[in-house]
Structure 1
Amino acid sequence: MNIKQQEVAQMNMVEWLSDSQELGKKPSKIEFVKKFELYEMHYYIFKFKRSVFTSWLVGVSGGYVDNDLVPCGHTFSDMKKCNATTAQNDCIDMIERIRSYWMEQAKSYT
């Protein structure tokens, strides 16, 4: 596994969550869950907490091509509780929604 890419993915997730439209701050805790491949890119699943006493939520950072350290823009969380059994499928659903949105946007430019 590319540890540097995983570290960058975590920083990317924290940066995304810190945005005022998301958590508006860094999560109180964040942990790597697993890596998976989709569309020939690497994706990293993280679980995070809004504050110490809240439930774990799930988010995804990616996609990373080969050993690149810049994601393609598929970093997201819909602030859903993290479920170890469904986390990867939950993240794939988020990625598919992002891809669908940008494909629709691209149609308006053609």
Structure 2
Amino acid sequence: MRTRLITTLAAAVGLLIVSVPHCFLKLDEQTETGEVRHWVVETSNPPDMINNGWSKYSLKAGDEVTVTMHQVKDPKKPIGRVVKVAFADGKVLGTGGGGNARSGDSKSETYPK
């Protein structure tokens, strides 16, 4: 996936798909005009995700998160690759890929506790 733009957005989790070779997040962003924009963002492979503190229970539908990602070159396409996911309670999960993805507190942390 060729990406260039770093994008941060607040969104509700629709679904976390844990699969090989990569995991995916489906997100619903409420735009300024009130429309819902549906995003599909790629994460890393399951072993890397586990090493970065993720589990299949890390996110559930409806969770409000702030996602930082590498968006594809065309900003009209709601597609990207996750750098990190931040929760309202301050927890952060990284993916270990580019753009300071691996925050110091996310690698060894399992969420939820």
TM category (shorter chain) comes to 0.3 to 0.5
TM-score between both structures, scaled by the size of structure 1: 0.33
TM-score between both structures, scaled by the size of structure 2: 0.33
Q: Which has the higher contact order (CA 8 A, sep 6+)?
A: 2
Compare the two structures and name the one with the higher strand fraction: 2
Compare the two structures and name the one with the higher helix fraction: 1
